[in-house]
Amino acid sequence: MSLIPLRPVLEAASKYGYAQGAFNVNAVAQAKAVIEVHEMFRSTAILQGADLANGFMGGCVDFMNATLEDKKAGAKNIANAVKKYGESAEIPVVLHLDHGKDMDSCIAAIQGGYTSVMIDGSSLPFEENMELTREVVKYAHARGVSVEGELGVLAGVEDHVFSAASTYTNPLSAVEFVKKTGVDALAISYGTMHGASKGKNVKLRKEIPIAISECLAYEGIFCALVSHGSSTVPGYIVEEINGLGGLLPDTAGISIEELKAAIPCGIRKINVDTDIRLAVTRNMKEFFVKYPEKRNSASVGGIYELLEAKKEQFDPRVFLAPIMHAVMYGEVKDEDTKEILCCIERGVKEAVGTLIVQFGSFGKAPLCEQISLDEMAERYKKEENA
């Protein structure tokens, strides 16, 4: 199937009362795995490329310092991979920019082939955030691309997104923000956190999405609510990483029970990144334990060296520099690289498959309207003129 915008996916989730997981990818193998596991569960797939993931996929190993040109190249590489596997899949697929830093990042993603973008102006004053988001909506909707904004601040660290403390989303401000920007989705702060150390036994402020949802319904406005920083950080995977020599103390995620309880309160999209990172890194560590002779491999031995040198890290991007060509383009030149990519794919499927079931999107792909970007652009135009 062709890639579709985010809006019809959110409309189906809202109508039928489930949440759609949204999963970050940083390699062609990860995109392939996310699509395949969603197809297996007959679930619509939302793949996310973060702003700096685009830089990494553009060949910038030092992705924290990626340039706009890196991001442009990476956006095309991610989009090419998603199109390659998504257009042959029997489910709808969305490619969404996660935490777009500015207007240029959003434009780069859209021009590269993304069908949905997030503009993160949450660190700006309310009026500035609203103005920036409105400009992105204007540009994106004219091209049939859906837009997610953010209001409120999540604590924690994810790529260039950092805050020491949370600022909960004000429901009344949220309604004003949606009315004046026209966003399709709104990421809110209600107790989740970025990163792998969210604190134990986190209780989500579910009254916040309830209040926002009820106010939007009263106004007759559609906008789906998004839960960022929602990785569950599976304890068994962390234990396995540490058992393999990793150094990951004090890790804790949002419990499945809390996330599932938030879905009836209006949460329709749940972002997950850390769980995938952990499962992939665990698998690579296991690979070199099981096949010690691969530690001296000309193609993948460098991955082992990085895993050993950076035991406190769990982001696979830190370790994958030796096989960047395969990461960026999916081209496999030898058997050792193929085996590492299989480790990556298995880790992705393990983390993602569980959450497809928990969030309730399995079997729901036929409920999602198939709509092209051109058709969506016409719909946005009619809504604006109504």
* Catalytic residue selected from 51, 98, 275, 336: 98
* C-alpha neighbours within 13 Å on the C-beta side of residue 203: 1
Count Cβ atoms below 10 Å from residue 27 Cβ, excluding itself: 29
Per DSSP, what are the bridge partners of residue 153?
167
State the Cα–Cα distance between residues 323 and 302, nearest whole angstrom.
9
Q: Which residues, at least 6 apart from 296, have a Cβ–Cβ distance to it below 8 Å?
A: none
Q: Which residues, at least 6 apart from 192, have a Cβ–Cβ distance to it below 8 Å?
A: 154, 198, 202, 204, 227, 228, 229, 230, 254
Is 98 labeled as catalytic in the residue annotation? yes
The beta-strand segments (E) located in the chain are: 20-24, 45-50, 93-100, 116-119, 146-151, 156-158, 161-163, 185-188, 224-227, 267-272
Going by C-alpha positions, the residue among 151, 171, 140 that lies closest to residue 226 is 151
| Residue 374: alpha-carbon gap to chain centroid | 24
Strand 161-163 relative to strand 156-158: parallel, antiparallel, unpaired? antiparallel
State the Cα–Cα distance between residues 87 and 80, nearest whole angstrom.
10
Structure-block tokens of residue 219: 């106004």
In DSSP notation, 316-367 reads GGGT-GGGHHHHHH----SHHHHHHHHHHHHHHHHHHHHHHHHHT-TT-GGG
| Residue 22: alpha-carbon gap to chain centroid | 5
State the Cα–Cα distance between residues 255 and 203, nearest whole angstrom.
9
Give, in order, the Cα–Cα distances in Å from 116 to each of 49, 130, 145. Answer: 10, 18, 5
Show the 3-state SS of 231-266: CCCCHHHHHHHHHCCCCCCCCECCCHHHHHHHHHHC
**Positions marked active-site:** 98
